[in-house]
Amino acid sequence: MVIGVCIILMMMTNETQTDDDDNKMTTTAQPKDETCETLHNHNGTKLNILAVGRTPTRLILITNDFYVYDVSIDSIDSAINKLYLRTKPIPLSEKYPVLYNNDRFYFMKLMNQIYGAFIATDVDNSEWICMMTWAYQTAEYGINFNIEENKVYKGWLYFREPQIVMISTTVTCAYYVLHKNNYGNVQIGMFKCMGTNRIRDKAPMYQMIEYRNFCYDYSGQKITVESDGCRSSNPVQWPVLKGFTDGGKFYLFGQYYIYIFDENVVHEQGSSYPVTKRSYDSFFNCGGYIPSGQVSRSFFLWIIATIIVLLMILMIILWCILTTKRKRTYRSLIHAKTTRSDYEGVGPRNRSMMLTQKASMRSCNSIKPKKLSSNSKSIIKPPIVGGGRSTTISCGSTPATVRTGFNCRNASSSSNNNLNNNRFKCLTPKIQSSRNR
């Protein structure tokens, strides 16, 4: 038990020290990432994301105030649906100065003409940031920025219906489009470059997938995509603001939640797939920020391990106690059995003599021998009247007188009955003190 208490105290000390170190790292070594905090603490206000998507080598997130997160592709954990933004964002002016200082980009930013933006990969695996304008606002085309070449190309002008959301995809030279119909139901489609044309050539794009309806199934727990209405009469009406695909999953950013589901739902009409909802603070993990539940889970696991160790120690102690008790019981049974066997097979007369002999031996052993002084004399009981004979026997150094016989002369005149009655008649030994009183 003492060991268990010591282990718990050590764990508490270690956890406290870890918390202190983490707090120091957050407050000193790594100042709080205010940009990431706006994503982490999103509460239904305007989402601070201009474009987000994955390329073969990185994951890029650009905010509305033009900060860039450029993180590795393993920064998103699809098993637990969490995105780790471990590094602080870099201003677009520093990350991509050629793009930021471009005249067309400057005018689009100044006049708020960026209708939509997405991250794309071309057929040659080149990586692009695409910003599109809308024909109802301007006649000028948007821009496409090649990340590897650090070069700006002429982009696209969108001519169709308003209120669309562009979703980045890993499909080459393509992007998904979400919009709501007149009933507020969410629909999805896909635009893709025609033929083998490339983004750098401002390839014409066509709608590869016509708009289809997102619908809940009859259970209300899964979604499906249907071309004409919803058979369940339960359409999806999420307020989707932005999104991207990664690892075969959709990540759609809504007003309060991030909706995550399989990308195959779009390509397999009628098939139902489950939907996972994640809050913004559970999806975005900022650099230097440690979720409160992470330390608690670690501490809980340590407590469980300690309890298991204590139970094992307790079981060992109980086993030792039971083993010792069992051995003592076994020895007692063996001793009792041996004692009984000493008296088995003898008659009552011999058994009585054996018991008397054992009692005499115990009496002798209980008396400690004492050294007699020079003037001490053995005290012998006078002969018994009637001609009997007395014999002095010594038990250790202490003499005792016992009547052991009878008068031989009287024996001849006694009857056989008296002879049998007096034979082997013994008196209890009287032990006399050898010390003069």
**Greater pLDDT, 243 or 292:** 243
pLDDT in tens, 41-84: 888 888 999 999 999 999 999 999 999 999 999 999 999 999 99
| End position of a domain, from candidates 263, 287, 311 | 287
- Specify if 344 maps to a domain: no
Chain mean pLDDT for the chain: 78
Residue 395 lies in a domain: yes
- The Cα 44–Cα 24 span in angstroms is 31
Q: Which two tokens stand for residue 155?
A: 């982009």
pLDDT at residue number 138: 93
For residue 309, the SS3 value is helix
- pTM value surpassing 0.75: no
The full DSSP string for 49-91 is: -SEEEE-SS-EEEE-TT-EEEEE-GGGEETTTTEEEE-S--EE
CA gap 121, 133 in Å, rounded:
20
Residue 160 is predicted with a pLDDT of 84
**Triad 196, 202, 206: Cα angle to 5°:** 65
More confident residue, 30 or 164: 164
State the pLDDT at residue 105: 98
Task: Choose between 199 and 296: higher pLDDT.
Answer: 199
pLDDT of residue 258: 97
Of all residues in the chain, what percent carry a pLDDT higher than 70? 66
283 & 393 share domain: no
pLDDT, average across residues 16-23: 46
Angle at CA of residue 426, ends 424 and 429, nearest 5°: 150
Question: What is the domain extent for residue 426?
Answer: 383-437
Q: Which of 255-269, 341-355, 388-402 shows the highest mean pLDDT?
A: 255-269
pLDDT of residue 423: 45
10 Å Cβ neighbour count for 188?
A: 23
Last residue of a domain, one of 287, 302, 334: 287
Is the domain of 405 the same as that of 282? no
Q: Give the pLDDT of residue 325.
A: 81
Query: What is the structure's pLDDT at 328?
Result: 79
CB 178 within 8 A of CB 209: no
When pLDDT is averaged across residues 86-105 and rounded to a whole number, the result is 96
Q: Is residue 268 part of a domain?
A: yes
Supply the pLDDT for residue 300. Answer: 66
* pLDDT of residue 390 exceeding 70: no
List the structure tokens of 52. 């987000």
**Same-domain check for residues 274 and 403:** no
138 found inside a domain: yes
1 in any annotated domain? no
- For residues 39 and 162, membership in a common domain is answered with yes
Does residue 297 register a pLDDT over 80?
no
| Residue 413: per-residue pLDDT | 44
Q: CATH number of the domain that 139 lies in? A: 2.110.10
The residue-averaged pLDDT of 256-277 equals 95
> What tokens were used for 87?
């590094």
Domain edge (last residue) among 242, 260, 287: 287
Would you say residue 399 lies in a domain?
yes
Residue 377 maps to a domain: no
Banded pLDDT at 143 (limits 50, 70, 90): very high
- Candidate ranges 59-68, 284-293, 300-309; pick with highest mean pLDDT: 59-68
The 10s digit of each residue's pLDDT in 169-198 is 999 999 999 999 989 999 999 999 998 778
Residue 8 covered by a domain: no
Closest to 238 measured CA to CA, from 276, 186, 177: 186
Question: Are residue 402 and residue 278 in the same domain, yes or no?
Answer: no
Give dist(CA 241, CA 280) in Å, integer.
13
pLDDT tens per residue across span 212-233: 999 999 988 899 999 988 988 9
**What is the rounded CA–CA span in Å between residue 5 and residue 45?**
49
Residue 162 pLDDT: 74
Intra-chain end-to-end CA distance of the chain, in Å: 63
**What per-residue confidence (pLDDT) applies to 301?**
73
Same domain, 281 and 401: no
The per-residue pLDDT for range 401-437, each reduced to its tens digit, is 444 444 444 444 444 444 444 444 444 444 444 444 3
Report whether pLDDT(205) > 80.
yes
pLDDT at 386: 45
Same domain for 264 and 144:
yes
Same domain for 275 and 402, yes or no, is: no
pLDDT band at 203 (very low <50, low <70, confident <90, very high): confident
* Domain shared by 41 and 189, yes or no: yes
Rounded to an integer, the average pLDDT of 97-110 is 97
State whether residue 211 is helix, strand or coil: strand
Of the segments 262-266, 289-293, 304-308, 395-399, which one has the largest average pLDDT value? 262-266
Kindly report, residue by residue over 233-258, the tens digit of the pLDDT. Answer: 999 999 999 999 999 999 999 999 99
Q: What is the pLDDT of residue 163?
A: 83
pLDDT digits (tens, 9 = 90+) for 324-337: 888 778 777 776 66
Output the pLDDT for position 222: 96
Pick the residue with more confidence: 11 or 37? 37
3-state secondary structure of 215: strand
pLDDT attached to residue 375: 44
Q: How many domains does the chain have?
A: 2
pLDDT at 6: 53
Residue among 114, 113, 133, 134 nearest 62 (CA): 114
- Residue identified by tokens 């330390």 is 295
Percent of the chain with pLDDT over 90: 50
Q: Are residues 280 and 409 in the same domain?
A: no
Long-range CB pairs of 337-345, under 8 A, 24+ apart, other chains included: none
| Cβ atoms within 10 Å of 4's Cβ, excluding its own | 15
Strands 284-286 and 82-85: what pairing? parallel
